[in-house]
Amino acid sequence: MGNRFKEVQTEGNVLLRKQIEESKGRFVTFSNGCWLSLRSEDGHICGTNPYGQDWFCNAVDGWEDSVLRWLSYWDSSRDETGSRLTPIQSV
């Protein structure tokens, strides 16, 4: 069971694409709170964002780019609606 699961750092990870490609067939948790099943189920890759909302993309050529964009989106601080959180500026 240990080789079916993998944990990957997202932010600042220059090897992220390679790690995602090498993780095909596994369940992967990411440091930004996202989770993916990199097992094509009915032609889809599925995952969950940090707030438990499901996400899918087609498992066709270029699926890695969709996954990378999705992970990058959630690397930014966001609320449960996906709105970007901005730190309060001190005066």
Helical H runs in 1-90?
16-22, 63-75
- Are residues 55 and 3 in contact, defined by beta-carbon separation less than 8 angstroms? no
pTM of the prediction? 0.80
**Closest Cα partner for 27 from 6, 42, 50, 45?**
6
pLDDT in tens, 8-62: 888 788 889 999 999 988 999 999 999 999 988 789 999 999 999 999 999 999 8
Task: Report pLDDT for 1.
Answer: 44
Q: How confident is the model at residue 89 (pLDDT cuts 50, 70, 90)?
A: low
pLDDT at 2: 52
What is the domain partition of the chain in residue ranges? 2-75
Terminus-to-terminus CA distance in the chain, angstroms?
A: 52
| More confident position, 23 or 86 | 23
Contacts of 80 (CB under 8 A, 6+ apart): 51, 53
